[in-house]
Chains A and B, each alone.
Chain A
């Protein structure tokens, strides 16, 4: 608390002193400082360094602290239902001040050119007026795995842990949309949240994406207020968010307060190319791709993670190694799960559970024996119900580094 107060004091000092005092403190002028938009305090002195993420596991890897982006190392994701403290955080803007969130006053408004009426619901009305549902739904960041692309793709360099499958409780989006009335020309829904743009500009939205009306109308598409039976974690959208399992998690707006029913593809922030889009036709690595040739990502590709053991395990030759993990495939189910200890030359089949419900990830397990002492890599390969499997090398390069579903690998030594 003391440190927090200090930080706030420091920040206010910078705000009051403005550009001049900041220039003094830096020992140099801020060139073009006069062009700073109103409300922007340069944090050249970076007084905002955070002290660890509230209610998140200490082993979470923090990629970025403004905006906050954090992922779980694979072994933290061993649970069938990802706990709140291990669920990744991908913020595009600054979350609303926690103290400003009033559950009694929080409302959700549904409007738009393809809405028959405009209606506003309080949280209590949403919970009471519509049937409540709980589904286990997998959310994965579209850029999960970006780190591996070559040439490198810009953005947060996610490795493998920007994914999780939690039990979300809320109401069906389609029930709420039906109450408002959807016109025949509806194409898309878009969301607006209470997070604010990094630049401090109140005119800019940090992110305002959505999904086609067909995805919005699925049973599992939720307006959710709870994760694993508890209120949503603050960094994951408290008190209200959308959840569209199997699609880039950026579709699932957080701190939700407005949904628009659109008669065109939603045109909010980060809907336009190149954000959350890939080349419509495959391109060679490193290509420049015109915005008009980039298509919106919809269902995520088949993928899996080995969550036990943690990479780096050393075992004895006479021991069998138990392995565990999860597999998921966007809108589809996973039909087979295999692992290899010889760099993909041979594969052995794992036991694979049925999903708890549609769009939930599936658990797999197996026992591995090793032929001799030495260094091994365990590679994991899931196959979806359409027969598409994970590649062993990187899939199609794309400018923004989305959709890397190359097989997960862990290192093991047998001694």
Chain B
């Protein structure tokens, strides 16, 4: 159709450029507005969380009492609610990866950058994950840095740090 009407094609291209410019502009406005909001209200959150510093949460066993208090808190570099490492790319990872599944699924897995890329492609092909665009390399860097595989050989030692030693009470023979 565009063959006969080069004008309309040009118009469309121009519209597309304008559209993407508008999208970028919207993104920048959102970013600024969000930062502003955080600047205004952020300290309220901090204040509330400090009161609840006593709340402890084990990463392995579930503590049902502490969840609400842990809302959005970072402790020892870990964002407690998602269980994910908190760094500059955290917000991007959270926004794109925890829409469908829990952050716990990420935190328990280990893979190389290539391995994480394969997982993303699998989710895009079969699970409805959207295109990650400019965020993809950032997400991959984040995952490859914080959730890289360790060499454990054909079988790892029993995890001594995880063993809770106790006296087994038995009747004397």
Contacts and interface: CB of A to CB of B under 8 A. Distances in A.
Interface of A: 3, 20, 23-32, 35-37, 40-44, 46, 49-53, 58-67, 148, 150-152, 154-157, 197-201, 204, 309-315, 318-322, 377, 392-394, 406, 409-411, 413
A201 B128 contact: yes
A408 to B, nearest CB: 10
A61 B61 contact: yes
Nearest to A65: B102
Interface of B: 26-27, 30-31, 33-35, 37-38, 60-62, 64, 67-68, 81-82, 91-92, 94-96, 98-105, 108-111, 115, 119, 127-128, 130-135, 149, 151-156, 158, 160, 163-168, 170, 172-173
Given A27-B91, A44-B99, A413-B165, A152 B34 contact: no
B98 A26 contact: no
B68 to A, nearest CB: 6
A37 B128 CA distance: 8
A26 B95 contact: yes
Contact of A315 (B27, B31, B67, B170): B170
B27 A29 contact: yes
B168 A25 contact: no
Contacts of B165: 312, 314, 413
B131 A35 contact: yes
A contact face: mostly helix, strand, loop, or mixed = loop
A215 B116 CA distance: 36
B101 to A, nearest CB: 5
Contacts, number: 173
Contacts of B102: 46, 64-66
Contacts of B158: 311, 377, 409-411
A32 B154 contact: no
A53 B67 CA distance: 13
Contacts of A50: 67
A32 B91 CA distance: 15
Contact of B100 (A199, A310, A413): A199
A410 to B, nearest CB: 8
